[in-house]
Amino acid sequence: MIELDALWKAGKDFLGTRYPIIAGAMTWISDSHFTAAVSEAGAFGSLAAGNMPPELLHEEIQRVRQATDKPFAVNLITIAPNYKEHLRVAAENRVPFIVFAGSFPRRPEIRAAKESGARVMSFASTESIARHLIDNGVDALILEGSEAGGHVGHVSLGILLQQVLFRVKDVPIFTAGGIATGAYIAHLLLMGAAGVQLGTYFVCTEECRTHPRFKEAFIRARARDAVSTPQISSDLRVVAVRALRNKGLDEFNQLQMELIEKIKAKEISHAEAQYEVESFWVGALRKAVQEGDTERGSVMAGQSIGLVKSVRPLREALDSLIRDTRDQLARVEERMRALGAE
């Protein structure tokens, strides 16, 4: 008999949670209230540092701790202007987990996180990067496919599974990108994943304090509506962002062209242009999440948005995932028995 508890034991033990299900950190969405609610429900909350002022990050960490005694992470974006200060604040607050996102952390940054007592997680997009991060001291990896929302890479989860999950056994590996059903979770666990990370799925929960119009946009959208932003030119490096197609996305493309012209005219440095790019997304996302401007703001979402159809309590959403995971494992076992009998 296929036991779910045995399948995801490594993930549960690593995170210290009832379920090895991570609610992916989403800027302006994964605040202290939502992070604590996720952890209290038995999953794993991840506080999104985004580019908030360092003193606010300190306050948010304290709020999480006041609301729950369960494990949680602070997600740091390595390309954010306040990143180094965020790492300092997280280390000083001795948070239990630190997740590096956006790009790959340097060895001294991983060391600083671990010396604070935190367990360290980071995203990996290839086998070589995964092994480099492990050599530098990360305790677990997250494989996030391009199906995910927000800042993403260019490789689908299906390829990452073959490049990394099937080859790297040194640390627990969590999978992310396009996950919104227990049936999919069951098969990812069977393939060796220690657990999973979902973001888009959890936006449409009552505990997620986004603007009602933001959630309405999720419910109306189809999978193909969540598109990845193109990089206009190699003159300006842009980390792809997956969001619903709208006027805001068109404005971002226009911004890229304007910044490229300024770089060529030596009116702005590459670093300053990169800052403008990140500032655009921070502002546009806030406009959509908090103000409900889903036309000109950035409605960051993964392709699993096509599977999100209603707003419901967080515990109900979690229970549905667990129930569907168990049901799918039972179907797999039944099929294996049938094949064995033939």
DSSP one-letter code for 229: P
Q: Please report the sign of the dihedral spanned by the C-alpha atoms of residue 257, residue 263, residue 267, residue 273.
A: positive
Mean local confidence (pLDDT), 307-311: 95
pLDDT at 240 over 90: no
How sure is the predictor about 152, in pLDDT bands with cuts at 50, 70 and 90? confident
What percent of the chain is modeled with pLDDT above 90? 77
Lowest mean pLDDT among 96-110, 195-209, 260-274: 260-274
Mean local confidence (pLDDT), 266-272: 86
Mean local confidence (pLDDT), 233-255: 86
Write down the mean pLDDT value for the chain.
Answer: 93
Pick the CATH number of 4-209+312-341 from 3.40.50.11740, 1.10.30.50, 3.20.20.140, 3.20.20.70: 3.20.20.70
CA 252, 303, 138: angle at the middle one, nearest 5?
85
**Secondary structure of 180-192 in the HEC alphabet?**
CCHHHHHHHHHCC
CA distance 308 to 225: 13
Neighbours of 341 (CB within 10 A): 6
pLDDT at 142 over 80: yes
Per-residue model confidence (pLDDT) at position 100:
97
Q: What is the pLDDT of residues 54-97, one digit of tens each?
A: 999 999 999 999 999 999 999 999 988 899 999 999 999 999 99
CA distance 287 to 214: 10
pTM over 0.85: yes
pLDDT at 186 over 90: yes
pLDDT at 341 over 60: no
Per-residue model confidence (pLDDT) at position 307:
96
**Secondary structure of 10-29 in the HEC alphabet?**
HHHHHHCCCCCEEECCCCCC
Lowest mean pLDDT among 159-168, 171-180, 279-288: 279-288
Q: What is the pLDDT of residues 30-50, one digit of tens each?
A: 999 999 999 999 999 999 999
Domain-by-domain residue ranges, the chain?
Answer: 4-209+312-341, 212-291
Strand 226-228 with 241-244, pairing: antiparallel
Q: Which residue has the higher pLDDT, 255 or 311?
A: 311
How sure is the predictor about 107, in pLDDT bands with cuts at 50, 70 and 90? very high
Strand 150-151 with 241-244, pairing: antiparallel
Strand partners, 45: 72
Identify residue 19 by its one-letter amino acid code: Y
Per-residue model confidence (pLDDT) at position 1:
74
Q: What is the pLDDT of residues 194-235, one digit of tens each?
A: 999 999 999 999 999 999 999 999 999 999 999 998 778 888
